[in-house]
Amino acid sequence: MNYLNAFAQELNTPSPQLERLALIIGGIDDLSLDIEIYLEQIENLARQVKRRMPVSAHGCTVIEALLSILRDEMDFRGNVANYYEPANSFLHRVLDRRLGLPITLSVLYMVIGRRLGIRLEGMGFPGHFMLRYEDEEGSWLLDPFYGRVVYATMAEEYLAQVLQQRIDFQYPLDIYRVTTHSLILRLLNNLRTVYLANEVYDQATEVLNFMVMVAPEEDTLWRERALLRFQSGQFLGAESDLRHFFYQRQLLHHFVENRPVGILQPFILPEVESVPFRPSGEITELLLVLDHIRTSVARLN
């Protein structure tokens, strides 16, 4: 299975399925991963949860019951002991081990809740991920990682307790609500951070392959993948990524000049001819990389 193609295909559907996207990412961890087996496992879990949910539950009782079933009875818990383990970010591994991060546990709750008619919204707070549930009786936050349910009005107080620092929201809670795209991007960024911290660059590059699909407008993703590709000797891929980066920064003229950086002259902007443009330190470093790539490719050819 070509996981990148499958991911792109699902991502570009009118209503991409969150659990399918999260499972496809698991191809980074297991090249033989069978997505359909895990989708059926989610269906089975949803059926089990439905049988155990109290009849006519409403208000806070709904999510307290959901938390009790998934956490206390089925033992889906936060991996406090090994928080930064890559497996925590893969939904199939969460299903296998019943351990995960706040965001992967939240994905599981969301997709099971959807099958039960329980609408849970992902809330991407700084430093922590939770869920929000609302009905005619009120609004609550559900934390699958630590196993807590609190009133939404207590968000600042609760996060301050979890993160051990003062929290002062400048915006209404709605600003932290995530879309499917932004949730998947945040999930991928967790993986990217872990792999880079552990200098596992091949996997970090694979994660970036998915990230640039979700957020092609983020020029820093193209720059980072270019540098990782350059480091591993993938010169043509690195050059292509740098073209994207320079284009998005509106500096494509530097990319196409194709001359050694050592003799790079200030570029005169045509609309303001009296103001020369001098590349920043970041741009100069990337031009050095580009020059090295082109020299290496010319030598190979």
Q: Same domain for 172 and 115?
A: yes
CA angle (105, 109, 115) in 5-degree steps:
150
pLDDT, one tens digit per residue, over 237-269 is: 999 999 999 999 998 887 876 544 443 343 333
CA distance 56 to 236: 60
Confidence of residue 98 (pLDDT cuts 50, 70, 90): very high
Asked if the structure places residue 68 within a domain, the reply is: yes
Asked if the structure places residue 191 within a domain, the reply is: no
Q: Give this prediction's pTM.
A: 0.90
Overall domain count for the chain: 2
Please state, in angstroms and as integers, the Cα–Cα distance from residue 160 to each residue in 103, 125, 166, following that order.
18, 11, 5
Largest Cα span, the chain: 76
Asked if the structure places residue 69 within a domain, the reply is: yes
Q: Same domain for 55 and 172?
A: yes
pLDDT, one tens digit per residue, over 263-279 is: 334 333 344 344 444 56
Asked if the structure places residue 192 within a domain, the reply is: no
In which domain, by residue range, is 146 found? 3-180
Asked if the structure places residue 138 within a domain, the reply is: yes
Q: Same domain for 31 and 87?
A: yes
Q: Same domain for 133 and 247?
A: no
Q: Same domain for 27 and 169?
A: yes
Asked if the structure places residue 203 within a domain, the reply is: no
CA distance 202 to 222: 15
pLDDT at 67 over 70: yes
Q: Same domain for 94 and 13?
A: yes
User: What pLDDT is attached to residue 258?
Assistant: 52
- Where on the phi/psi map is residue 126: left (φ > 0), alpha (ψ -120 to 50), or beta? beta
Distance of CA 22 to the CA centre of its chain: 9
CA distance 198 to 122: 28
Distance of CA 181 to the CA centre of its chain: 8
Tell me what the mean pLDDT of segment 84-113 comes to.
98
Asked if the structure places residue 112 within a domain, the reply is: yes
Q: Which residue has 């591994």 as its token pair? A: 93
Q: Same domain for 81 and 20?
A: yes
pLDDT, one tens digit per residue, over 163-219 is: 999 888 888 899 999 999 999 999 999 999 999 999 999 999 999 999 999 999 999
Tell which residue, 109, 115, 112, 170, has the closest CA to residue 142.
109
Q: Same domain for 171 and 234?
A: no
Asked if the structure places residue 31 within a domain, the reply is: yes
